[in-house]
Each structure stands twice: as C-alpha cells, then as structure tokens.
Amino acid sequence: MKPSRPLLSPRPSSRPAAPVRTQTGGANPPVAAQDRTLLLLNKPYMVLCQFTDEGGRETLKDYVKEPGIYAAGRLDRDSEGLLLLTNDGKLQAQLTQPGEKTPKTYWVQVEGMVSDEALAALRAGVELNDGMTLPAEARIMAEPEVWPRNPPIRARQAIPTCWLEIKIVEGRNRQVRRMTAHIGHPTLRLIRYAIGAWTLDGLAPGQSRALTPGEMPSPAPRPRAPRAAPTRMAASTPARGQPPARATDKASTGASSKGSGRASARRPARKA
C-alpha cells in the first residue's frame, strides 16, 4: 500500500553508490525584495510547463493560483518533480543563468541494469548531437518510495529496470533522457528531486509551497565596474632629426644679458 503523502527518500541500497514568459509576452517587472515570491511546485506527469495551451491540455494554471508568477526554468511534459516559480524577473534570471551552474538532481528509472562502465561514461561526459556534456554525478540508487505514476511505466517481464541518481549543472533540452539513451539505457520515468538545496520533500504531485523570507535566496551582487588604470603624462619626444630643446631659466637668461652689456661698455666708440 502506497503512503498517502510522498516519502521522498530512497530505500537503503544493497549496492555501493558509485525564457521568462508573462501573460502579455513581456518580461517580469522588477519586484521589491519584501514582495518577492518563490514557489516550490511538484509538477505532475503530463502537465505542460506553461500557463496556457490551445489544445486544452493541463498546464501550470491548473495547479498555481497566485497571480503574476511564472516558471523559473522548464521541465518536460512527460517529466515530474520540482519546478520553481517566481514573480521576480531578476530572481528568475539568477536561478536560470547558465553561468550560475546550479546543480539539479534527478531520480531516473531506466531500462536494464546499468554497468560500472556506463556510470563512468556519465561521470566523464558523453557526446550528444549538440556537443559533449559536462561531467555528471551518477550512481545507482534504491527504488525511492514515491507516488505511483498514472499511467504506469511500460514494464517488460524479461527486462529489469533500475534507478539512477544523476546530478547535472546544465539544462539542455531533454538532456538526462539523451544521456541515458547514449549509454544504452532508455529512461522510463524521470523525477527532478532537487534544484540546489531545494527538494521535493513533503510535496505531493500538484502541491506547492512558498518559501519563507529566511529561505529566500540572496539577491545576486552587482558586478563592479573595472577601475581605470592611472594615466601618466608622456614626456615630449623631439621629432627625428631635431636637437633636443634646451632648458632655460631666468637666472641663465639674466646672466647672459649682463655679460653682453659689460662687453659693450668696454668697446671704444668709433670716430665719426
């Protein structure tokens, strides 16, 4: 019998562990620090990570009622788990910028039993069609006690499954699924358990909670403008072929004048 609320912790393992969207299409306006909101949502399976859909499919609007709040990052429709939502455009950028390298932890049920060599490939980085992935943290984990998926995964009696915990800092399209497919183990179920230090603990599918002021992340510091290097007055350089200018002062000029005057006084006057 499954528990009424998710127990988001794995059973002890017997094996060693090896763009911002608004309803008007613009960006979120700046929000005062005391008015910032950040929600943790456990996004259910087959829910679109957006607030509108012309096809009538389930979206975030069916689970999030707070006005003026939007997803910080994305999660595929066929993936489940933690999604962050905020009303602050600056916070949204802080949480999603690639340079921040925020780790994201996934619990992944894959087809087949994963070998140590396959785990080593994930840890080293694998070559996908859009380039090499950064090294990931990957280990085999015990089956977590989570909510049942509806509909359940495709199960084959002749092919076993296992669970992996994979931690990455990138956010490419369907990256984890492509990584497990690359090592020969297609993903059957994918749950994002954590983003940074925030986790799904205590959240059933469709439930959300707002972070308290003490849990809110600090604003990103503003980058300092580089200081201008001090400039030195360059000494004037004479043109090529010209002698350097001689320094003169009043004393030398005066002495010269007096000398010429005495010379003139000694010279006898010419007769007319």
Task: Kindly report, residue by residue over 70-83, the tens digit of the pLDDT.
Answer: 999 899 999 999 99
**Catalytic status, residue 76:** yes
Q: What are phi and psi of 159, to 5 degrees?
A: -120, 115
pLDDT tens across 181-230, in order? 999 999 999 999 999 999 999 999 999 999 998 888 876 655 555 666 65
CB 198 within 8 A of CB 8: no
Task: Determine how β-strand 104-111 pairs with β-strand 198-199.
Answer: unpaired
pLDDT at 216: 86
Query: Of the segments 13-27, 91-105, 136-150, 212-226, which one has the largest average pLDDT value?
Result: 136-150
pLDDT at 242: 57
CB 187 within 8 A of CB 106: no
Sequence-distant contacts of 34-37: CB under 8 A, at least 24 apart? 34/213, 35/87, 36/86, 36/87, 36/88, 36/91, 36/216, 37/66, 37/69, 37/86, 37/87, 37/88, 37/210
Q: How far is CA 126 from the centre of its chain?
A: 20
Q: What is the mean pLDDT of residues 41-45?
A: 98
SS3 196: coil
Q: What are phi and psi of 198, to 5 degrees?
A: -85, 140
Residue 119 has pLDDT above 90, yes or no: yes
Bond before 103 cis per omega within 30 degrees: no
Answer with the residue of higher pLDDT: 216 or 13.
Answer: 216
Residue 249 has pLDDT above 60, yes or no: no
Reported confidence tier of residue 90, pLDDT bands at 50, 70, 90: confident
pLDDT tens across 136-183, in order? 999 999 999 999 999 999 888 889 999 999 999 998 999 999 999 999
pLDDT at 100: 75
pLDDT at 115: 97
Residue 118 neighbours by CB under 8 Å, 6+ apart = 183, 184, 185
Reported confidence tier of residue 31, pLDDT bands at 50, 70, 90: confident
Reported confidence tier of residue 262, pLDDT bands at 50, 70, 90: very low
Residue 251 has pLDDT above 50, yes or no: no
Catalytic residue among 76, 88, 130, 249: 76
Q: What is the mean pLDDT of residues 42-47?
A: 97
CB 78 within 8 A of CB 45: yes
Residue 6 has pLDDT above 60, yes or no: no
CB 80 within 8 A of CB 190: yes
pLDDT at 232: 61
**In 123-259, where do the E strands start and end?**
127-128, 131-132, 137-141, 161-168, 187-195, 198-199, 208-210
Chain mean pLDDT for the chain? 80
